[in-house]
Structure 1
Amino acid sequence: MSTSAVVTYWFVSALDSATVLATEARADRGFGRKYLAQLNPSWPITTIGQFPLNRSSQASAGEFYIGGYPGVTVVQTWIDDIGLLAETDPDMLSSRPAPDVYVIAVGDDSDFGGFAHFSGGVLKRCLSGTREFLTEDIGLPEPFEAPYWAGETTEPRGGISLPFEPRDIARAAERAWVGVDVSPEGPDIQVVGYAVDGRPEPRIEEPRKVGKEKLTPSGVEIVAYDDYEIQPAEREGDEFVRLAEAAGAAFRRVSRTVRRRAGDMRESITERIRHSDRP
């Protein structure tokens, strides 16, 4: 039975990938386009947006999310039949010059999960499968695996079921190897999204001068293709606060004007009454 999965490849040559990713460097659109052209020259490449990998929906069929930073490259895509991670395409593994390549796979519509570490092109550790069926278990377990095998992370099912969710241990492998939490709680990992299935370029609004209100908390410009960009939740609340403050200020100005005119009218009437007995 084939298993579809979202697969993330990490090509790491930096001594400290966590520090590199913590800088939240902006992704280069040209880098990803050149990478895909070298990976498969026949692909029609369409840019579909720029966004944080860890705050976006995962890549779908025909899509690649790519980010290139000093000593670290991340490539996420969707694979219809994941097969064995130990047999990852050698062309893919060598698509970027890096001594260490980490492969993280998470089932698209199942509880499948897995991870693999290639060092110098040689497989060092690989694990994949579902809760009920372990497909691969190659190499010595890594330290981060201990609480999962001990059943400390997931409620037991009994029988032949694994004592952990494969998707969870795959994400733990990513955190341990890459050095940062690749989730909304971690630093923004800026990537550019591309489609290679021939879809047209998305319609982009005319560029406008961007102020601070158009930036994410990390200082990254919000692009027009917002299907792939998760806007900061607090931004909408800030807008309502600004509108409320403006309405309150306008109300206070109008109130002061009404009170001033009412006072003037009272003084005028009083003056007229005071002099009404004069010829």
Structure 2
Amino acid sequence: MSTPANSGAVVTIWFVTAADPAAVIASEPRSDRGFGRKYLAQLNPAWPITPIGQFALNRSVPASAGEYYIAGYPGITLVQTVIEDAHRLSELDPRLLTSLPANDVYVFATDTGTDFGGIAHFREGEVIRSLCARRDRLYEDIGLPDPFELPFWAGDHDDGSGTGIDLPFHPVDLVPAAQRAWLGFDIAVDGPDLHVTAFAVDGRPEPRFLNESGHRATPDLDTVVGRASSRLGISVRDPGYDDYETHDGDGDGDEFRRLAEASAAAARRIGRIVARRGRALRATIGQKLRHTDRP
């Protein structure tokens, strides 16, 4: 599997074994950075994997080319990336579709620039339903329409902008409806945050700091200490920390706060020492200058 090209559809894949996906998401589970890194390393060992942020997917822009947004929750795994040719979801790379064991795999694809929308449901490797289309072109229609599709085919979502041969709805509008019907929620509308970890596989350097929207931000002391300890291979919680192991990754706790406070106190002490030495040095130089004119 090669690195995604610079254009294409945003494809979101849900690997589901949980009986009630909506209940899992409602608990707002945290994503695990170690899991995402391990997943990508197994998907393509040749990729240079760069962590680029942790944030709520429902409050951020979608993944771009060369990026993967990943979240591993109890019974659910989410993978979002950009795929150049996603016009037939039933033909997605099998290595991606089978990259994780799951009873059900749901795939959603959108390209707002072309009005393309695609939905697909796989059960134990078999295509149950796949519909991929633009308003003026049907790429794939496999399986029977699900009940949630009927109002769309009946013209209830027709805005009157199409011609006689166009579909009576915009395919991109079908995607959130499918997500709600199949998973029980719409991440763009429903309340709980969907925490993901973002990675780049195109060789870009790791950004210094990112806020929850994935943009550069001024770090606070806790973030500075956390990043420094991480680069030294030290965990505030566990000196034997391994980025590939499972851990909650929330970054809080008394130990973290004590380390942050100790670091701040050490910085203040260093500042006082430097100031005292500076004053002493200035006094010494001044004394010597006063005596330079003496024989």
Structure 1 length-normalised TM? 0.72
> Are the aligned partners of 2:87 and 2:139 in contact in 1 as well (CA < 8 Å)?
no
Matches within 5 A, 1:166-177: 166-177=171-182
Alignment-derived partner of residue 162 in structure 1:
167
Task: List, as ranges, runs of 4+ consecutive aligned residues in structure 1 with deviation greater than 4 Å.
Answer: none
Q: 1:192 aligns with which of 187, 197, 200?
A: 197
Alignment match, 1:234 = none
CA distance in structure 1 between the partners assigned to 2:34 and 2:63 by the alignment: 19
Contact (CA 8 Å) 1:8, 1:103: kept in 2 or not? Answer: yes
TM superposition shift of 1:106: 0.1
Q: Would you say the 8 A contact 1:7–1:105 is kept in 2?
A: yes
Give 1:137's match in structure 2, choosing from 136, 141, 147: 141
C-alpha distance in 1 between matches for 2:172 and 2:201: 27
Work out the CA distance in 2 between the residues paired with 1:151 and 1:186: 29
Partner of residue 208, structure 1 = 221
- The 1:108–1:159 alpha-carbon spacing in structure 2 relative to 1, beyond 3 Å, is closer
AA of the residue aligned to 2:205 = P
Q: Is the 8 A contact 2:66 2:202 kept in 1?
A: yes
Q: What is residue 58 of structure 1 aligned with on the other side?
A: 62
Shift of 1:110: 1.1
Q: CA–CA distance in 1 between the matches of 2:133 and 2:186?
A: 22
Residue 206 (structure 1) shift: 5.8
What's the offset of the Cα at 1:152? 0.8
- Give the alignment of 1:7-26 within 5 angstroms: 7-26=11-30
Shift of residue 6, structure 1, vs aligned partner: 0.2
* Residue type of the alignment partner of 1:146: L
1:208 counterpart letter in structure 2:
L
CA-atom RMSD in angstroms:
1.7
Task: State the identity %.
Answer: 58
The corresponding residue for 1:245 is none
State the distance in 2 between where 1:168 and 1:50 align: 28
Asked whether the 8 Å contact 2:54–2:197 carries over to 1, the reply is yes
The aligned counterpart of 1:124 is: 128
3-state SS of 2:221 partner: coil
Secondary structure at 2:70 match in 1: strand
- Deviation of 1:208 (Å): 2.3
CA distance in 1, matches of 2:95, 2:68: 16
- Structure 2 letter corresponding to 1:203: R
Contact 1:47–1:195 under 8 Å retained in 2 = yes
Give the 3-state SS of the residue equivalent to 1:135 in structure 2.
Answer: strand
Q: Deviations over 1:91-116 (max 9, x none)?
A: 11111110100110001521000111
Partner AA of 1:202 in structure 2: P
1:65 to partner: Cα distance: 0.3
Instruction: Report what 2:107 is aligned to.
Output: 103
1:114 counterpart SS class? strand
Preserved contact between residue 87 and residue 133 of structure 2 (Cα < 8 Å): no
Shift of the alpha carbon at 1:30? Answer: 0.5
Aligned match for 1:45, one of 42, 49, 59: 49
For structure 1, the residue ranges without an aligned partner over 5 or more in a row are 211-219, 222-279
Counterpart for residue 81 of structure 1: 85
Q: Which amino acid aligns with 1:65?
A: Y
Shift of 1:80: 1.7
Q: Distance in 2 between matches of 1:155 and 1:108?
A: 16
Match of 1:30, as an amino acid?
Answer: G
Residue 70 of structure 1 and its aligned partner are, at CA, apart by 0.3
Structure 1, residues 63-108: CA drift from partner, whole Å, max 9, x if none?
0000110000000001122241111111111111101001100015
| Counterpart position of 1:147 | 151
The match for 1:183 is 188
Q: Which runs of 5+ in 2 are unaligned?
A: 1-6, 210-217, 224-249, 252-295
Structure 2 Cα separation of the partners of residues 102 and 186 of structure 1: 21
Partner amino acid for 1:9? Answer: I
Query: Which residue among 5, 8, 11 is the counterpart of 1:4?
Result: 8
* Aligned length, in residue pairs: 210
